[in-house]
């Protein structure tokens, strides 16, 4: 029903400030009655991270920062949902306005600055849904003013790993000063070691994922891949938003806003980085493809580049939740044309070509 209604309410939502419209959307989802989740074609199921994903289309972090409505989001047809980012202590993030729609480019710029209700609030909400079906993960970060960012990640992991299916270590948000510095080899090695240790100390089975930026140089990607493999990370998420501003952007005025750019213009650089990661990791470490997924064709291309799963967020601003079903239907049609019965048969097939794509 919500997919049918969205085209009618979208003009009203887009007259509002983007952050206000987003909050209203979360409130509406919270009021939705619990419904039966859509049945997915068995051919779309993905066995990964010790779990069976009913389909490969997930919701990226940032949409439900506070874990307010993960079950309602699963009910829209997502195969998995990632909540957060979460930091230990509540923080307001950057001053508003901090989210901007680049409508002509089907893009979004945000500089939220990891606004979070804090670890205790999010943990309580996740604890309250214990035992419910559906794959839910959490994205974690560090407080802006933290004196020990590594301890922040460990604290989030210790508390949240027993409550979720996966924990995504976010070192790639462009909106927290110094955070991307943690992608450096020495820092990252220590960070991942402490995160895995914190997870193991709880006895939880949550997978540890690492989310990276699309803007790093290839030699830096080499180091990230080697460190992730060495420290037992179970998947790489490629990628976060970009600080670059492609010359092709139509909304040049809004493009001058600082923050991370997501949506359709991110598809090219994020997919190239994904394919480059696949070439380095092969089948040793699974990849989750994020950035510019707004159609079945985009999701299909991410899979061919090396993604076992995909995530989207910004496309919901323009297409609403009906997009989820259209992507799944489009993937099934492409599988039929390719003559395959399992998506994993296609993962990384075109990585070499897509890594070099202009």
CB 134 within 8 A of CB 81: yes
CA distances from 279 to 88, 215, 225 (A): 35, 17, 10
- 3-class secondary structure, 342: coil
Whole-number Å distance between alpha carbons of 357 and 1? 39
Tell me the C-alpha distance between 119 and 178, whole Å. Answer: 21
Name which of 53, 21, 26 is nearest 37 in CA terms. 53
- Of 283, 304, 301, 282, whose CA–CA distance to 292 is shortest? 301
Q: Is the dihedral of CA 257, 263, 268, 269 positive or negative?
A: positive
CA 274/CA 288 separation, integer angstroms: 8
Of the CA atoms within 13 Å of residue 327, those in its CB half-sphere come to 31
Residues with catalytic annotation? Answer: 173
- For 348, phi and psi rounded to 5 degrees? 80, 5
Closest to 254 in 3D by CA, of 93, 98, 62: 98
Give, as one character, the DSSP assignment of residue 130: T
CA of residue 255 relative to chain centroid, distance = 22
Output the six-digit token pair for 222: 């080499």
């Amino acid at each position: 029903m919500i997919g049918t209604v969205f085209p009618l309410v979208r003009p009203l939502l887009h007259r509002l400030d983007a952050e206000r419209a987003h909050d209203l959307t979360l409130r509406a989802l919270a009021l939705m009655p619990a419904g039966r989740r859509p049945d997915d074609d068995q051919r779309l199921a993905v066995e990964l991270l010790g779990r069976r994903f009913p389909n490969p289309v997930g919701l990226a972090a940032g949409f439900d920062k506070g874990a307010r409505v993960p079950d309602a989001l699963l009910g829209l047809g997502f195969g998995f949902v990632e909540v957060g980012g979460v930091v230990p202590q509540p923080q307001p993030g950057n001053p508003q306005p901090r989210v901007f729609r680049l409508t002509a480019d089907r893009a979004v710029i945000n500089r939220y600055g990891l606004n979070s209700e804090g670890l205790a609030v999010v943990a309580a909400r996740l604890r309250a849904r214990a035992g419910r079906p559906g794959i839910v993960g959490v994205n974690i970060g560090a407080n802006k003013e933290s004196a020990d960012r590594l301890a922040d990640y460990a604290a989030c992991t210790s508390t949240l790993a027993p409550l979720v299916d996966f924990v995504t270590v976010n070192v790639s948000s462009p909106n927290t000063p110094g955070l991307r510095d943690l992608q450096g080899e020495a820092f990252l090695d220590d960070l991942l070691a402490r995160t895995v240790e914190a997870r193991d100390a709880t006895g939880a089975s949550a997978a540890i994922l690492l989310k990276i930026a699309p803007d790093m140089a290839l030699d830096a990607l080499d180091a990230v891949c080697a460190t992730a493999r060495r420290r037992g990370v179970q998947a790489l998420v490629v990628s976060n938003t970009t600080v670059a501003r492609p010359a092709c952007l139509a909304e040049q005025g809004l493009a001058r806003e600082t923050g991370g750019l997501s949506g359709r213009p991110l598809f090219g650089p994020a997919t190239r980085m994904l394919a480059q990661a696949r070439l380095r990791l092969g089948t040793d470490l699974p990849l989750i493809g994020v950035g510019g997924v707004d159609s079945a064709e985009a999701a299909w291309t991410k899979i061919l580049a090396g993604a076992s799963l995909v995530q989207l967020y910004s496309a919901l601003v323009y297409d609403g939740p009906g997009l989820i079903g259209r992507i799944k239907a489009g993937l099934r049609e492409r599988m039929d044309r390719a003559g395959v019965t399992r998506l994993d048969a296609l993962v990384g097939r075109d990585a070499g070509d897509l890594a070099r794509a202009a």
